[in-house]
Amino acid sequence: MKRRAPDIIRSANDRRIKPALIPRDQFVVVNGLRAFAALIIRFLLRVYHRFEIVGQEQLRTNRSLVIVANHSSHLDTLCLLSALRLRSLHHAFPAAAADYFYQNPLRLFAAAVFNALPFGRKLHARRSLSLCADVISQSGNILILFPEGTRSTTGRIQEFKHGVGALVAGRDVTVVPCCVKGTFEAWPKGQRLPRPKKVLLIVGAPRTYAGFRPDKSNISAIAAELRLAVEQLGGNNGSNGA
């Protein structure tokens, strides 16, 4: 049985990770708001950023997915969500830094609308990974991860944290590497508003690490392999430029 968003949020609360607490009877409204916001964002991305997607068919599945991508802008999450079918959005959970999105009312509201999953980057990291594992154990759920842990300040892909390897090693879940290009030029960290730069999302071939033992060497190797896959999709030696 697929877990609904309220159950996921309660699970986060049980693990003492500060969540966006929304009563169950308000989720119909939130789901409607999410779909409406998604349509607006998709239109703006197409018009303002000439947004294009390559390999979108790789995301067309009813299986659970872990989408792994580079990260240098708030636009990255919007681009990845825009590559999904509208009906999939209510089961898509972008991992969001709990110390950034859950300490400010406006960011908290945005996190709730976009179904963001609170992730403790410094505290509760293991509990956060356990919550992520809970999400992908349910068929049809989509987890969006940025294994760099924070936005790049140079536009170049940073090292991937080993947590992504620990999450997918030994689990029968589809992992899809993606590269978002142009978002650093459009809306880098510290800039107030985005600029009208072209943005491109390249979706790579899906893979699985079900046959890997979740030991230290495999966890490290998976993280490195996924980083290389994302880098190769982007070309330009890991640059974010489109």
Helices (H), the chain: 5-14, 27-48, 75-82, 98-101, 105-113, 125-136, 163-168, 183-186, 216-234
pTM to 2 decimal places: 0.84
Residue 191 CA to residue 73 CA, distance in Å, equals: 10
| pLDDT tier for residue 187 given thresholds of 50, 70 and 90 | very high
Q: Residue 31 belongs to what domain range?
A: 5-238
Question: Which tens digits make up the pLDDT trace of 9-52?
Answer: 444 444 433 344 444 445 677 788 889 999 999 999 999 999 99
Considering its fold, how many domains does the chain have in total? 1
- Are 54 and 178 spatial neighbours (Cβ–Cβ below 8 Å)? no
Q: Is the pLDDT of residue 236 over 90?
A: no
| pLDDT tier for residue 182 given thresholds of 50, 70 and 90 | very high
The helix/strand/coil state of 200 is strand
Residue 228 CA to residue 133 CA, distance in Å, equals: 23
Domain with 104 in it: what CATH number? 3.40.1130.10
